[in-house]
């Protein structure tokens, strides 16, 4: 099977990226809606009490509503970064499907993927630091430890961007040759 052009592996991967792109939009919308509902119930617990019998457990959940909403918003923001990466990859795979892997825009796109990916990792560190300060000992699953695999991937993306830049330069030189 071919790697580039219509009906190739790259066109199949482009379809998968399209599906993921629209699924991420739906997840971000759902997270935003749940954050809004959570805030509504936390500021007006009477709405929730009219549907459910009010108990101590329900009061504890309602009291943590702003924390849940903040977590949902942070998750939606993270998914927004992933959405941006997937959208850029979709654009790169469009050029691969068209048979033009060394399109000059792909260099900028790959660099942008590296910046966003690095930004998401820095955002994870910041979120872990803030949550440790605001809610010490209560947050599990979010660690602010250095992830060498992620930073290695960021470096690989930047190196690939330079490879694409060199490929675009060579292609441009070849087009100028008679």
Pick from 19, 154, 135, 22: nearest CA to 70? 135
Q: Does residue 151 have a pLDDT over 80? A: yes
Residues 156 and 109 in one domain: yes
Please give the structure tokens belonging to residue 112.
């942008």
pLDDT of residue 148: 92
Count how many domains the chain has: 2
Domain end residue (candidates: 83, 99, 115): 99
What distance in Å separates the CA atoms of residue 126 and residue 19, rounded to the nearest whole number? 30
What distance in Å separates the CA atoms of residue 81 and residue 92, rounded to the nearest whole number? 17
Please give the structure tokens belonging to residue 70.
């903040």
Range of the domain at 174: 102-178
What distance in Å separates the CA atoms of residue 149 and residue 11, rounded to the nearest whole number? 28
- Total-model pTM: 0.81
Q: Does residue 141 have a pLDDT over 70? A: no
């Amino acid at each position: 099977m071919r790697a580039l052009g219509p009906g190739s592996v790259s066109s199949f991967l482009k379809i998968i990226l399209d599906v993921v792109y629209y699924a991420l939009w739906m997840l971000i919308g759902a997270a935003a809606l749940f954050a809004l509902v959570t805030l509504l119930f936390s500021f007006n617990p009477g709405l929730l009490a009219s549907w459910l019998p009010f108990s101590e457990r329900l009061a504890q959940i309602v009291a943590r509503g702003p924390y849940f909403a903040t977590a949902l918003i942070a998750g939606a923001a993270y998914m927004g970064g992933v959405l941006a990466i997937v959208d850029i990859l979709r654009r790169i795979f469009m050029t691969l499907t068209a048979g033009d892997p060394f399109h000059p825009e792909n260099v900028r796109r790959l660099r942008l993927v590296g910046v966003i990916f690095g930004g998401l990792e820095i955002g994870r560190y910041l979120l872990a630091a803030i949550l440790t300060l605001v809610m010490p000992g209560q947050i599990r699953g979010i660690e602010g430890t250095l992830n060498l695999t992620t930073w290695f991937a960021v470096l690989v993306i930047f190196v690939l961007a330079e490879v694409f830049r060199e490929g675009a330069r060579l292609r441009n030189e070849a087009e100028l040759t008679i």
